[in-house]
């Protein structure tokens, strides 16, 4: 069996991870991002530009970004829900933006107060704005494998969202398992259908570990040649608008697995475990990562 020789990991703890925690200080957020920048990870989702009433944990996004010590070897990105968020992100200097659209209409309404169709209708203008500023726009399709309100989301429904994104000019795609409903067979079906429909579209995957299948899903995706994954330090994460959703796959657990498979990530596992310990201190609760507890195989 052939696996990728290397994998690109995007650290999403500072954004996805912290949005589901009690708000922490700006200084603490900056400290976490700077610590992650020293682990060897090459991509960090730093903040999101959402309305502060919707996600108060991200209300200081502008200030956080202004204070981060930016490592030139790290690509920092920001998530936006709409055109206004993109304008704010570009104004602060971000060039890598992600827009999130739920495949589930109910979740999209709860998450950003719009129907899926309304979000998709804005994509052409959003892509034009970002590309006009010299940036890139990634489409994140959330609830790609299921919705806490609607249950299973059909593959055809997910692909219809992707079709709209491609028509609008997005540069890449990520599927988000918002509620942790994905399993390896479901991953195989959706990735396979996507590759058939859009074989040239760069694809990444964003798994939550709500039902304990996160790393199993990664393994299934690796078998299909996927080499781009999101993960969150310490296993932080969850969605305020997805009841019962727990954290993302932990970055240090993902790195531990990939290293043992001989797949390069460029990430220093011990440094990432140290960053997970810092994250645990900053949020003030025990995190779920087992590698944080047990450490690497050889200490």
Residues known to be catalytic: 239
Strand 96-102 with 228-231, pairing: unpaired
SS3 100: strand
Question: Residue 81: which of 240, 205, 232 has the closest Cα?
Answer: 240
CA–CA separation, 107 vs 161, rounded Å? 14
Locate 35 and state its tokens: 């610590």
CA–CA separation, 164 vs 119, rounded Å? 10
On the 0-12 / 13-18 / 19+ scale of CB atoms within 10 A, 277 is: middle
CA–CA separation, 74 vs 123, rounded Å? 27
**Contacts with 196 (C-beta within 8 Å, 6 or more apart), sequence order:** none
């Amino acid at each position: 069996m052939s696996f990728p020789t290397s994998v690109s990991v995007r650290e999403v703890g500072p954004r996805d991870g912290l949005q589901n925690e009690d708000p922490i200080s700006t200084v603490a957020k900056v400290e976490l991002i700077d610590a992650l920048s020293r682990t060897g990870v090459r991509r960090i989702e730093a903040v999101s530009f959402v309305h502060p009433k919707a996600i108060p944990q991200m209300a200081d996004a502008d200030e956080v970004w202004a204070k981060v010590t930016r490592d030139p070897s790290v690509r920092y990105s920001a998530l936006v829900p709409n055109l206004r968020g993109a304008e704010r992100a570009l104004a602060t200097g971000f060039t890598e933006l992600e827009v999130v659209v739920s495949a589930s209409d109910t979740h999209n309404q709860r998450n950003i107060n719009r129907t899926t169709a309304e979000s998709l209708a804005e994509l052409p203008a959003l892509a034009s704005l970002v590309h006009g500023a010299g940036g890139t726009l990634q489409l994140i399709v959330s609830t790609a494998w299921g919705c806490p309100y609607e249950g299973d989301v059909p593959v055809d429904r997910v692909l219809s969202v992707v079709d709209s994104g491609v028509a609008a000019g997005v540069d890449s795609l990520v599927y988000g398992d918002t509620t942790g409903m994905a399993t390896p067979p479901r991953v195989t079906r959706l990735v396979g259908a996507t590759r058939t429909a859009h074989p040239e579209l760069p694809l990444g995957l964003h798994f939550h570990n709500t039902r304990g299948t996160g790393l199993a899903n990664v393994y299934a995706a690796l078998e299909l040649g996927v080499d781009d994954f999101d993960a969150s330090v310490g296993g932080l994460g969850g969605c305020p608008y997805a009841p019962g959703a727990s954290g993302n796959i932990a970055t240090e657990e993902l790195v531990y697995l990939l290293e043992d498979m001989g797949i390069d990530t460029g990430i220093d596992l011990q440094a990432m475990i140290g960053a997970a310990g810092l994250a645990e201190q900053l949020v003030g609760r025990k995190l779920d990562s087992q590698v944080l507890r047990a450490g690497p195989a050889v200490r």
